[in-house]
Structure 1
Amino acid sequence: MAFAGEATNPHTKAADLSRLSKIFRTREELDGCDVTSESWQQALQRRYKTHQDMKGILNHVEEVDMSIYDQFDMRVTPYLAQLMDRDDPNCPIRKQYMPFQGELNVRPYEVADSLAEDHDMQEGTTVVHRYPNRVLFLVTTNCGTYCRYCTRKRLVSHRERAVNKQQLESGFRYLESHREIDDCLVSGGDPLLLNDRQLEDILSQIRARAPHVKLLRIGSRLPVQLPTRITPELCAIIERYDVQMVNVQVNHPKELTPLFAERIKMLRKTGTMIGNQSVLLKGVNDDVATLRDLCMGLVACGIRPYYCYSCDIAEGNHAYQLTLARILELYHGLRGFISGPAVPTFVVDGTGGLGKMPIIPDYIRELANGEIWATNFEGKVHRMTNLEATTLDQ
């Protein structure tokens, strides 16, 4: 099996696309590009691969040591480059994707495999089996664009860690033989970077060999990074193999473009649920007004705000970290101030493989004397005697 970046048409060679494509060297040239006028494969050939490539597109580009790319590649689609503010280095899109020198200053508490996925990865496969009934199936180590805060940067972008046919086959066999698994999340890397034939091969194998899987999910950021990846052909595959949920990752309202909304609407017509898993990022979305706009913007697109993650402590991620106190402030700024269905669950994915744990504000408190007090979103308090044991025993 070949991997991401190849054309869906097997007769179209990657080299042919490369000859047809070039990166846009000036902002004027970039802004004049209509990403809907070419295939998503051709757009991928125009990705920016170093900060040097971006200097004709953006002003005030940080000069970083080229050794950064030995640790973690850079890829930026032209679509995302169009969303980046030309002059502001603190643009929320720039901050997610542009490398910065501080990435090389790894803090003592940062861990390459912070979620201990390698520990729970089944031998010979790329299946991570941590929870009793569900698994994570990593089918590629490539992405359309690389997020600088990636939790899997130890795997992602490294050619020597690429997923091979043998690992995929072993993964299918593992699913087949473990009938307790009824939930499978296909992830990576980004599975939608695979072409349609490759993706269909994977989904068809899962459905044919593991009919006990009741919930088949795909996790992808490509709809945000290059919405044109959502095509009628892709939607037909999603519907054909009854993919019940597609999780995307929108972190800022600026990513909710008309093109994104249009392609999400196309995807919704397949009947799949669409959820969003944001990552809380310092300097990007650690602001109540931003999160309110984001969550309400998501539901307006028909996307359920599913999770808001605390940023994982992968190596080099310290610049994005928020304290628990700040995360709770952000939660309090949402609950009661926006529509209930728009409020995501705030979670931390526990270091060392503890799994996802909800971050829950203390709205209901039991005092030492057994009294129970409730505090609402406006700070009003009331004693809830109906919840107290002494009341119920009377």
Structure 2
Amino acid sequence: MAARILHRLRDALGGGRGRDLRAGGGGAEDCPESSELEDDTEGLSTRLSGTLSFTSREEEEEEREEEEGGEDGAGEELGQPPPPTGAAPGAEDGERGAAAEHPGSGLLTRQLQELWRRSRGGLAPQRLLFEVTSASVVSERSSKYVLYTIYLIHSGRFDKAPAAIARRYSDFERLNRRLRCRFGCDMAGVAFPRKRLRRNFAAETIAKRSRAFEQFLSHLHSIAEIRRSPEFLEFFFLQDLRAAQRLTCTGMYREALAAWANAYRLQERLGAGGSGRFLLTLAGLAVCHQELDELGEAHGCCEQALRLLEAQGSHPLLGPFLQAHVHLAWKVGKDKRRSEARLQALQEAGPPLQPQPTLRECLVREPLG
């Protein structure tokens, strides 16, 4: 029975090619059905792949009526194409009755439709994934350690420029110790890989620690109080901010831009876009873009920062951002009247004859402990 159904599916998908061969006296009927099943199972699976479709209840009823109207096989004899879905033309009544005995099939289709609609509407929840993509043994003059590279990835989203960090065991251990001091109850159920006296650089040990660090970060991120804490957030981007600040101060703007950009991506994925560190990151991006004569990108960074500062009456970076935005808007030919009015109001409200520091001066002065 199964071989007969499979044979009819092949005929339906082949558009009558099998019937022409049988009419000509060759091929299919000269060979046993078992040999056909063994020889062509892979090809048939390929042709059947991707045939799942989501249809409404009305469409299902119309297709069912078409199948019932074609039970005599007249459409097949006239060489018409087979119905788009359902059993093959000319199927026996007993075979169609067996399919009708499963009322759960319609329910499954509706469940798939609902899942598809929810995913199309962006209602499916997204999670932040932590993936150790590589681990390398680093040997220095007085020490030897393993450096783990971790990517931060949003599930269900393709990242053209993923956010990445490189941390060693001591960095994870320091984070674990700080969090246990502040969040003792929440950290009670969080496991942390212990130190080993030997075989720390064995491939098996590194692989196990890589998976353990992924689970460790995922568990921490699942706890709301911890994932919003400075200890957790700065574990990811504070090193990049320090390196970017140092490179900016020494005039290495291209290298600094890469560090500022990675810190920006890390904060964005961690949901830290409203913090003071994020505004400092935008200032660093604006300064480096401007120094590299990328004025459009610098202007965009200033605009994003001013949108974040819209609801704040005063902020140490508000004046420098307004000043930079006015200058850059004039350079790129954008409207600067609103920023000029805000800057004038800010200057009138403050102490007289006190010049605003530039964004670069703010970057140099900002302590990053």
Q: Which has the larger radius of gyration?
A: 2
Higher share in helix: 2
Structure with the greater relative contact order (CA < 8 A, sep ≥ 6): 1 or 2?
Answer: 1
Q: Decide: shared fold, TM above 0.5.
A: no
Range into which the TM-score falls when normalised by the shorter chain? under 0.3
Higher share in strand: 1
TM-score normalised per structure 2? 0.25
